[in-house]
Amino acid sequence: PLDQLPKKVFAKKAPTGNSITNTVASTITVHIKNERRVDIARREVVVLALLNQLKPTLEATMRRTERRETQTAREREKEIDEDLHGSAIEGPKEKSKEGGNDGNESDDDSDEDAPIYNPKGVPLGWDGKPIPYWLFKLHGLNHFYPCEICGNESYRGRRNFETHFAEAKHSFGMKSLGIPNTKHFHGVTKIEDALNLWDRLKDQLQQEQFDGSKDEEYEDSHGNVLSRATYEDLARQGLL
């Protein structure tokens, strides 16, 4: 029985110096890792705070860049001159001082309420006015490209039409047809054309697959190269 055994059998081994050192080292390592994580989290909070403060400036810069892309060289020079020397239109200001504020407010209201003259249906820019007609023609926005796979959706401009093949809506339409949205179908907009092309591609893939009975070759004792079917047929007849 266990009660009759000597106590030294159940004595625990006293911890050595190496085990104590390893325990302390592991504790220090965990503490250092926790401090690094706290430091990284603190830095992330500081970066997010700075980003939130700079967000209005970044958005204003993006809007200004988009506006400059749609401006002509003359409009850019005029804007630079206004930034450097102020507005060059001083006549209306003097008249507004003489005539009072009522006339100025009524003129502003009439300008804002006036309908925009846009007989050609040019898209509006960032300022709510039609973009220049040369830019409208340059991007081909006067042409519409329909896509039956996307639910007869029409895309304005060649650029929008080309990029929509990689978008989620077109990919979902191809997936609904059971067709992978690969580069082979780029430019295909009709369902019937896509299905016919997919059938031809499947036939082509089947033809390109390796067929051992036809493509595998054997060589007889005389050095003649034969297909596997021919070699097995001659071997059964004992002609090899």
Strand pairing of 153-156 and 144-147? Answer: antiparallel
158 or 21, which is more confident?
158
Assign 88 a pLDDT band (cuts: 50, 70, 90): very low
Inter-residue contact 153 to 144 (CB < 8 Å): no
How far CA 108 is from CA of 90, 101, 116, in Å, comes to 16, 11, 15
- Residue 142 to residue 136: CA distance in whole angstroms: 7
The confidence score (pLDDT) of residue 147 equals: 92
The confidence score (pLDDT) of residue 57 equals: 87
Look up residue 192 and give its two tokens.
């019937």
Closest CA to 190 of 161, 142, 148, 133: 148
Look up residue 193 and give its two tokens.
């054309």
Assign 35 a pLDDT band (cuts: 50, 70, 90): confident
Helical packing angle, 101-113 and 91-99, nearest 10° = 120
The confidence score (pLDDT) of residue 10 equals: 62
Inter-residue contact 188 to 197 (CB < 8 Å): yes
pLDDT digits (tens, 9 = 90+) for 140-158: 777 888 999 998 888 888 8
237 or 106, which is more confident?
237
How far CA 43 is from CA of 6, 49, 50, 57, in Å, comes to 61, 10, 11, 22
State the CB neighbour count (10 A cutoff) for residue 185. Answer: 20
Assign 89 a pLDDT band (cuts: 50, 70, 90): very low
61 or 12, which is more confident?
61
State the CB neighbour count (10 A cutoff) for residue 231. Answer: 18
Q: Please report which residue ranges of 123-164 form alpha helices under DSSP H.
A: 133-138, 158-163
pLDDT digits (tens, 9 = 90+) for 191-231: 999 999 898 988 887 777 666 666 677 777 777 887 777 88
How far CA 122 is from CA of 70, 128, 140, in Å, comes to 13, 11, 11
Residues 146-175: what's their mean pLDDT?
Answer: 88
Inter-residue contact 153 to 165 (CB < 8 Å): no
Residues 169-197: what's their mean pLDDT?
Answer: 89
- Residue 109 to residue 60: CA distance in whole angstroms: 26
Secondary structure (3-state) at 6? coil
Residue 123: pLDDT over 80: no
